[in-house]
Amino acid sequence: MAKYLSNFSIFQFRDFRFFIISRFFMIIAINIQATIVGWQVYDLTGSTLDLGLIGLAEAIPSIIVALYAGHLADIKERRSIMLICLFVLFLCSLALLSFTGPFYFLLEKFKAYPIFIVIFISGIARGFISPAIFSFVTQIVPKDKYAQSAAWMGTSFQAGAVLGPAVGGLLYGWINIQSAYVLDCICIGLPFLMTLFIAPRPLPEKKIREPLAQSLAAGLKFVWKNEIMLGAMALDMFAVLFGGAIALLPVFAKDILDVGSEGLGILRAAPSLGAFVMAYFLTHRPPLKRSGSLLLGSVFGFGICMLVFGLSSLFWMSLIALFLSGFFDSVSVVIRSTIMQTMTPEEMRGRVSSINKIFIGSSNEIGAFESGTTAEAMGPVGSVLFGGIMTVLIVIISARFIPKLRKLELKDWV
Concatenated DSSP letters of 352-402: HHHHHIIIIIHHHHHHHHHHHHHHHHHHHHHHHHHHHHHHHHHHHHHHHH-
- CA atoms of 66 and 350, how far apart (whole Å): 10
- CA atoms of 338 and 356, how far apart (whole Å): 13
Question: For residue 412, what pLDDT is reported?
Answer: 58
Contact by Cβ (8 Å): 250, 165: no
Distances (CA, A) of 171 to 51, 112, 262: 21, 21, 8
Q: Which residues contact 109 (CB under 8 A, 6 or more apart)?
A: none
- Domains of the chain in start order, with CATH, are 12-198+211-412 (1.20.1250.20)
Question: For residue 147, what pLDDT is reported?
Answer: 67
Question: For residue 413, what pLDDT is reported?
Answer: 57
Question: For residue 6, what pLDDT is reported?
Answer: 54
Closest CA to 177 of 261, 234, 272, 264: 261
Rounded to the nearest angstrom, the gap between the alpha carbon of residue 186 and the centroid of all alpha carbons in its chain is 20
Question: For residue 414, what pLDDT is reported?
Answer: 55
Rounded to the nearest angstrom, the gap between the alpha carbon of residue 228 and the centroid of all alpha carbons in its chain is 21
Residue type, 396: I
- CA atoms of 149 and 218, how far apart (whole Å): 26
Calculate ∠ Cα 142-144-147, nearest 5°: 105
Question: For residue 4, what pLDDT is reported?
Answer: 44
Q: What is the pLDDT along the chain (414 residues), one digit of tens a residue?
A: 444 445 677 777 788 888 889 999 999 999 899 888 988 888 888 887 888 788 888 888 888 888 788 888 888 888 899 999 999 999 999 999 999 888 888 888 888 899 999 999 999 999 899 888 888 887 877 766 776 777 777 778 878 877 888 888 888 878 888 999 999 999 999 999 999 998 888 776 654 456 767 777 777 788 788 788 887 887 877 777 776 677 788 888 888 888 887 788 888 888 878 887 887 777 677 666 777 788 888 889 999 999 999 999 899 999 999 999 988 888 887 787 777 777 777 677 777 777 777 766 666 777 777 778 888 888 888 888 998 898 899 888 888 888 777 777 766 555
